[in-house]
Structure 1
Amino acid sequence: MTRQDKIIKTSVIGIVVNLILVAFKAFVGIVTNSIAITLDAVNNLTDALSSIITIIGVKLANKPRDKKHPYGYGRIEYISSAIIAAIVLWAGVTAFMESWPKIFTPDATNYTTVSLVIIAVAIIVKLALGQYVKRVGKDINSQALVASGSDALFDSILSLSTLLAAIISIYFHISLEGILGVVISIVIIKAGVDMIKEVADSIIGERIDSDLSKKIKKSIRELPEVYGAYDLSLHNYGPEKMSGSVHIEVDDTLTALDIHKLTRALQLKIYEEFTIFLTVGIYARNDKYEDVRNYLEEIISEYEEILEIHGFIVIEEQNLVMFDIIMEFGADREMIENEIREKLKSKYPQFNYEMIDDYDVSD
């Protein structure tokens, strides 16, 4: 079963279950005159709508690439997630506006044993549905499914609160409907805002997952010709469509043909293991000036802000030492670079020094 098929199957299950819950909860809410249960039914209806949008989104996202969109349509999944987040936020705001007046003018409720049993069953069903949808979403890296699953788990907790409020109403004749409705709406609003933030991070561009970055670099270093892997940068065009670039350090004695064979082997290896296409850049390694490199490493060990140096090379005909330097975000880069240059110059004055200011984009 393909990723698309799994998303559609899971979403259809969610739609069917939520529509059944909507029918039962709406009936109970109307019969008992409970605003909390009625709002819970509305929330289930938005969950069903979210599943429908997820299906439409994944269908559009899997359209084949074309001349206008050579990277495909994968990012449509983020758009569908944003729409779902907006629906959840709208539902929360609407629920708040309806619940707030009920705190001051509560309606009389009339719970029955049947209505309480229906609520209890709905809690169990929603808890099971939430765990299932969230698990599938994590397994196939679907942001929309993970959000739907998390929302369903929240719903089960909120339904439990509704059940407790009903029991309190029956035995103590205290109406908590308005207060509970406000609490439910605030939780829904927060869930909507969190979802919007998560989608925004995906669209803006997040840091590469640390585990994935380390696994890719480890895989690259398994090739015997490679001394190190640096500057790994990945870009996604949907949850399952990624490409990027990396620099590898190799012997400066390799021929163009050797490098061509190596980079092709590396690209194939990474694609087979991670389904990621990498463009490969080359750093040449020359151990003739190992003393300069060792001294440089002594210098950078004095700075906590410096995370790494790489790409070290001495171009003899220009008396030029070049290397990349990665510092923490927020470091005083200009000051640190000037200090390093002065220290190097004091010991090896015959060289000029060029530092490439690199950024910490992957672990």
Structure 2
Amino acid sequence: MAEFLLKTFVKNYQETENTEVRKNVGFLSSITGIICNIFLFITKYIMGTFSNSIAIISDAFNNLSDCLSCIITFVSYKLAAQPADRDHPFGHGRIEYLSSLIIAVIIMLVGFSFLKTSFGKILHPGVITFSFITVISQLISIIVKIWMSSFNKHLAAKYNSSIMLATSKDSLNDSYITLVTLSSLFLSLVTTLPVDGIIGCLVSILILKTGYEIIKDTVDTLIGTKADEEVVQAITDLVLSYDDVIGIHDLIVHNYGPGKLICSLHAEVDSRREMLEVHDTIDLIEKQLYEKLNIMASIHMDPIEVDNPLVNHYKEMVGDIIKEIDPLLSFHDFRIVTGPTHTNLIFDLVIPHEYQNSTKELKNKIDTKIKLKDENLFTVISFDTEF
């Protein structure tokens, strides 16, 4: 059904990184949610009126209020699709993350409210009246909400959308709440225990957990997380596919919203090559990164000596020492400066975030092992961290 709706209402829906396509998919998700919630509102309101059930009528207006999340999604995609401007040169894609936070807060508020109501029912259990019309109403609600959750989950996976994932979880939570009400109706026929309150508390905790997870994931993204391994590998493979590039380091990937990645990296090139020719290759790589991966890139050239036996000897020696100290360590930008009394080994050392020792301790270890090889060798180390 999701693919059918996409094919029918979204032009070029397969272009998952296209801003206009993402906006139209967001509109489709929002309008579908509004239609489903209005359908549930009308259905429950009519059933509640005919059965004179204030509970069903109240639930109907709850569905009407659920349209708020759909409207938030609608507005956020419209705002996120705005082009870059003077004040926001990287676009407005992160608005999607802010909207996910708003929906997560709504989920948390629903969870707290439902927990309070459920706990009250444990302390002061009321009489639950079984009604066939109520059962039909709740079953319809569960089916529609589960479909809405599945629909938005499919869109979230296809378009890497945090707000659609939040909407999916919101719909699933609504189905849990309705399922609690329905279960309570049947259990009321066989027990006098406040099962609706007990189950309600458990579901409330689940809803709160969902809201917390959405907030955590969204805040992590806004603060900045490590680049996705698949993205890093794709960038690395493309850059190294060019013969002029010997290696890369200092790769940094910035996320400015779904489908909006910007990266910078250092490309190691043979210092013997004509720099104007290599520069032309670097320009081509930047263009290819944008055309093939939709990533804007800024690449710095690092000319390195590849034919100097002395440099290669010391580089291999330092590599063996670093690997011996910790295989997780790596280095780059290796060069040497020779003098009449000593030789400086200059390089950048990349330290993993989980590395426990201080940089001072690490340098002392490296210096000690190098001095065992040659007392006239000194190190000049710049410490980097992984990005």
Does the C-alpha gap of structure 1 residues 83 and 42 become closer, same or farther in structure 2, counting only changes over 3 Å?
farther
Alignment partners' CA distance in 2, 1:118 and 1:68: 50
Structure 2 residue aligned with 1:179: 198
2: CA distance, partners of 1:223 / 1:338:
38
For residues 323 and 48 of structure 1, the distance between their equivalents in structure 2, rounded to whole angstroms, comes to 58
1:135 aligns with 2:157: no
For residue 320 of structure 1, what is the amino acid of its counterpart?
N
Using the alignment, how far apart are the partners of 2:165 and 2:140 within structure 1?
23
Amino acid at match of 1:306: L
Equivalences for residues 22-41 of structure 1 within 5 A: 22-24=41-43
Please name the residue that 1:120 is paired with: 139
Distance (whole Å) between structure 2 residues aligned to residue 223 and residue 281 of structure 1? 15
**2:363 matched residue in structure 1:** 337
After superposition, the Cα gap between the structure-2 partners of 1:34 and 1:266, relative to the gap in structure 1 and judged at 3 Å, is same
Q: Is 1:197–2:207 an aligned residue pair?
A: no
What is the distance in 2 between the residues matched to 1:98 and 1:29? 21
Task: Provide the TM-score with structure 2 as the length reference.
Answer: 0.84
Deviates more, 1:67-76 or 1:17-26: 17-26
Query: Hey, what does 1:71 align to over in structure 2?
Result: 90
Paired with 2:179 and 2:283, the residues of 1 have a C-alpha distance of 57
Q: Of the candidates 83, 87, 93, which is equivalent to residue 112 of structure 2? A: 93
Relative to 1, partners in 2 of residues 1:213 and 1:44: Cα closer, same or farther, differing over 3 Å? farther
Counterpart in 1 of 2:321?
299
2:290 corresponds to 1:261: no
Following TM superposition, by how much is the alpha carbon of 1:216 offset from its aligned partner in structure 2, in angstroms? 1.2
Cα distance in structure 2, aligned partners of 1:88 and 1:155 = 10
Give the whole-Å Cα distance in 2 for the aligned partners of 1:46 and 1:32.
21
The question of whether the paired residues in 1 share the 8 Å contact of 2:121 and 2:194 is answered with: no
**In percent, how many aligned pairs have the same letter?**
30
User: d(CA) in 1 for partners of 2:277 and 2:338?
Assistant: 23
Residues 162 and 180 in structure 1, CA contact (< 8 A), matched pair in contact too: no
User: Is the 1:77–1:238 Cα contact (8 Å) retained in structure 2?
Assistant: yes
**Separation in 2, partners of 1:195, 1:327:** 31
Number of residue pairs matched by the alignment: 360
Q: For residue 188 of structure 1, report the CA deviation from its aligned partner.
A: 2.1
TM-score w.r.t. the length of structure 1 is 0.89
Alignment match, 1:163: 182
Partner residue of 2:349 out of 325, 335, 355: 325
The 3 A distance-change label for structure 1 pair 82 and 237 is same
Aligned to 2:331: 309
Tell me how far apart the structure 1 counterparts of residues 325 and 26 of structure 2 sit (CA, whole Å). Answer: 48
Give how far 1:125 is off.
2.1
Amino acid at match of 1:322: I
Once residues 322 and 36 of structure 2 are traced to their aligned partners in structure 1, the CA distance between those partners, rounded to angstroms, is 59
CA RMSD of aligned residues (A): 2.6
Report the more deviating stretch, 274-283 or 187-196. Answer: 187-196
Say yes or no: does 1:219 pair with 2:263. Answer: no
> In 1, are the aligned partners of 2:30 and 2:71 still within 8 Å (CA)?
yes
Counterpart of 1:313 in structure 2: which amino acid?
A: R
Distance in 1 (alpha carbons) for counterparts of 2:374 and 2:65:
69
Q: Distance in 1 between matches of 2:98 and 2:194?
A: 41
Change in 2 beyond 3 A, CA 1:183/1:34: farther
Q: CA deviation at 1:247?
A: 1.2
3-state secondary structure, aligned to 2:329? strand
C-alpha offsets along residues 102-159 of structure 1, whole Å, 9 cap, x if unaligned? 2122222222223213322322222222111011112111110011112323433443
Query: Cα offset for 1:32?
Result: 8.7
Asked if the contact 1:305–1:331 (Cα under 8 Å) also holds between the matched residues in 2, the reply is: no
- Runs of 5+ unmatched residues, structure 2: 1-10, 12-20
1:274 paired residue number? 293
Whichever residue aligns with residue 360 of structure 1, its letter is E
Three-state SS of the structure 2 residue aligned to 1:250 is: strand
Deviation, 1:42, is 6.9
Distance 1:304 1:346, change over 3 A: closer
Q: 1:85 to 1:42 in 2, by over 3 A?
A: farther
Where structure 1 has 5 or more consecutive residues not aligned to the other structure, the ranges are none
Secondary structure of 1:277 counterpart: strand
Q: Which residue of 2 aligns with 1:80?
A: 99
User: Which structure has the higher relative contact order (CA within 8 Å, separation 6+)?
Assistant: 1
CA drift at 1:207: 0.9
